[in-house]
Amino acid sequence: MPEPPSSNAAHLSAPFRLDEELWQHLIPDSRRVLSTASDYRAWLAARPAADGSPAITLVFKALEIELLVRVLHPFRIDFQRSLPGEARVALLNDLKREEWSRPLGRFFSGGRPPALAETMSYLVMLNAVAADVPGNVLALWKRWLRSRFASAHHWWGRRRVAQRMAAATITYRNRYIHDLVATTSDVERALAVLWGQKANPGLLLQAFRILTHGLPRPLESSEPCRGCGRFMWAYPLRVPERHCLQCPGPGN
C-alpha cells in the first residue's frame, strides 16, 4: 500500500501554507499536486526567467480532483441509483437537447466530467433554482449538495465563490495551460487571488473549506479497487465510501 503524500502541511512554502486540519482533510492526490506546485514555486524564486505556469495551473488541478471525488462522481452515482429508468432517461434527453447542459448530460451518461469552468457555472445557476422543483436536475443537485455539505450554499449564495472561481479559471488556468508563459509577477498575482492571506482567505481556500467543512477525514481503505487493484481511500459518510481515481465508476 503506497504511503500517503506529505503527512503534514509544514513543508509547504508561502503562499501555499494550509492549516493542518484542512490539509489532513484533502484527498491524497490533491495534496500531492499542491506539494508539487509549492516546490515549483520555490524553484522559481531562483529562476525568474522560467515559465511559472505550473505554479498556477496545478492548484486548479487540485480543486478539480476534490470536486471529482467529493461531488461529481458521487452525485452521478446517486443520480443513476435514485431515479427510475424512464425518469432518468427523460432527464438525460432533456439535458442533451440544450447546449448549456450537454456536458452534464454527457457526464451522467458515463462520459467525461464537465470542465472546471462549466462546473462552476452550473453551481452559479443553483442560486436561481428552487430546490423543490420536480424533474429538474439542477434542483436535484442543489438538494444533494445541501444534504452533503454544511457550507454548500457558499458556492451560489452571497459569497459567490462559484462565480468568482469560474472567472479565475478563465483568467488564470485557461490562459496559462496552453500557449501563454507566466512571468514571476503573473504567478504572484494569480496566487494572491487563489490563496489570499491568513485574515483574508483566497478563492481556492474558500472552495476547499466548502468541500471539507463538517466532514470526517478520509481513511485508508483495507480493500483495493475491484477494477484495477489500486489502493483506495475511504471517505466516511459518503456513498460510496471508497473511490479509485483510476476507475471512477459506480462499482468502486
Model pLDDT, residue 84: 72
Q: How many CB atoms lie within 10 A of CB 63?
A: 24
Q: Give the total number of structural domains in the chain.
A: 1
- Domain assignment present for residue 226? The answer is no
> Can you tell me the distance from the alpha carbon of 193 to that of 120, in angstroms, rounded to the nearest whole number?
17
- Domain assignment present for residue 186? The answer is yes
What values do phi and psi take at 30, rounded to 5? Answer: -65, -40
- Is pLDDT above 70 for 71? yes
The residue assigned the cell 459569497 is 159
- Binning pLDDT at 50, 70 and 90, where does residue 233 land? low
Model pLDDT, residue 7: 61
> Can you tell me the distance from the alpha carbon of 225 to that of 112, in angstroms, rounded to the nearest whole number?
20
- Domain assignment present for residue 128? The answer is yes
Helix (H) or strand (E) holding 24: helix 20-25
- Domain assignment present for residue 125? The answer is yes
- Helix pair 184-195, 28-44: axis angle to 10 deg: 140
- Domain assignment present for residue 75? The answer is yes
- The secondary structure of 108-136 as a DSSP string is HTTSPPPPHHHHHHHHHHGGGS-TT-TT-
Q: pLDDT tens across 166-198, in order? A: 999 999 999 999 889 999 999 999 999 999 877
- Domain assignment present for residue 204? The answer is yes
- Domain assignment present for residue 62? The answer is yes
Structural domain of 125: 9-215
- Domain assignment present for residue 92? The answer is yes
